[in-house]
Structures are given as structure tokens and as C-alpha cells.
Amino acid sequence: MAKADMEKTAFMIESGNYYYNIMPFGLKNVGAAYQRMMNKV
């Protein structure tokens, strides 16, 4: 993942702010999978 895009994956939980260094789900359906995960958080 390009460094410029890392901040676009940021999310916040009680223990701090985090972002992904790599695509967490591969390239297949990554947008839908990411949104589903964020809806659960």
C-alpha cells in the first residue's frame, strides 16, 4: 500500500488510532469487506 494511502485506512478504538500497512483482505472485494468491518466497529 502506498504511504499516501495509509491514512485513508485509519480507524480509532479506545486504545488508540490505527491504520493498515498492507491491504488487510487482499485486493478482492476489499472495499466491501472494509466497510462491513467498519460497520461492526
- Mean pLDDT, residues 12-39 taken together: 81
Structure-model confidence comparison of residues 28 and 7, the more confident one: 7
Q: pTM above 0.75?
A: no
Total number of domains in the chain: 1
Which structural domain, as residue segments, surrounds residue 12?
3-40
Residues 10-25 pLDDT 10s? 888 999 999 888 766 6
> Is 17 within 8 Å of 11 (Cβ atoms)?
yes
The percent of residues in the chain predicted with pLDDT above 90, rounded, is 10
- For residues 17-41, b (16+ Cβ closer than 10 Å) or e, as one string? eeeeeeeeeeeeeeeeebeeeeeee
pLDDT of residue 14: 92
Contact 11, 19 (CB under 8 A): yes
- Looking at residue 25, the DSSP 8-state letter turns out to be T
